Structure 1
Amino acid sequence: MPRPSVQSARLNEIVQAAAKCVAQYGLEGVTLERIAEETGLKRPLIRHHAGNREEIINAVVTHVLAGFAEVTTMFAKALPEKRGSYAAVDHLFDDHGYSDPAEMMVFQSIVAAADRFPAESEALLKWVGDFTAVIVEAIKRDFPEVETEAAETVAHGIVAIYFNVDSLAPLKPPHEWRRYAKNAALLLLRSLETNASTQRAT
Structure 2
Amino acid sequence: MTQEKPVPNNEILRLVDLFRTGLKDSVYKWFEEANLCTEEELKVFEVVLDRIGHLWEKEEIPLTSVYVSSKIAEELANTRLRPEIEGKSPKGTIVMGTVSEDTHSLGKNIVKRFLSPFFEVHDLGNDVRLEDFIHHAKRTEADIIAVSALMMNSIQQLPHLRDLVEQTEWTQKPKILVGGAPFSINPELCEKVGADDCSGFAFDTVEKAMILLGDSR
Which is helix-richer, 1 or 2?
1
The structure having more radius of gyration, on CA atoms, is 1
More RCO (CA 8 Å, sep 6+): 1
TMscore range, shorter length: 0.3 to 0.5
